Structure 1
């Protein structure tokens, strides 16, 4: 399903599931590198997660850049399971301004290279 705007999604899906991740706004692990070895422009950590979401989610979803990372809302419990299976949970879910239940996931700057390679970006070892 296509990504929706945050506000429209929240209106349509009162019982959505929120995940958050702390990542850099730039490709910090590749200091100054914006292209892979094949000359393809590398996405930011948030942009790479969006590529994964577009390829993985079946239901409606929305995402939002926030200070220190991003948040994502999913409507389909199976999509929520996909997030947890791919990135794991960190700690207990908490009540936040984003959602009554927000679960931190294990997508971090350190997981960027593995996911980038899975999406066909040519990174050095």
Structure 2
């Protein structure tokens, strides 16, 4: 009887702790999510975008335009991961993410627009 009671208590503790797991809000079937540490804040869940050659090539070109040193290969190689790691840390405060996330893409676009505006202002001043 004591063993049964002990087993039930042990089982209940596992069941209760299972409800405490931090999971992404409204995850979509077939999508990949990562839990990322953000400096000074609680970790967040972000959708990790598939590293297709087309997406990686576009991201590599955008990173090069922003001044990162890498080659356009279409592969998520070490240089691209390092550039993404630096970009994500600088722009989103994600501590370790050498991947393309749902937040990486819009911020890349925003930084490129800002860079183009600055270049236009500089050209107008000459």
**TM-score, length basis structure 2:** 0.29
Please say which structure displays the higher CA radius of gyration: 2
Higher helix share: 2
Higher strand share: 1
**TM-score, length basis structure 1:** 0.29
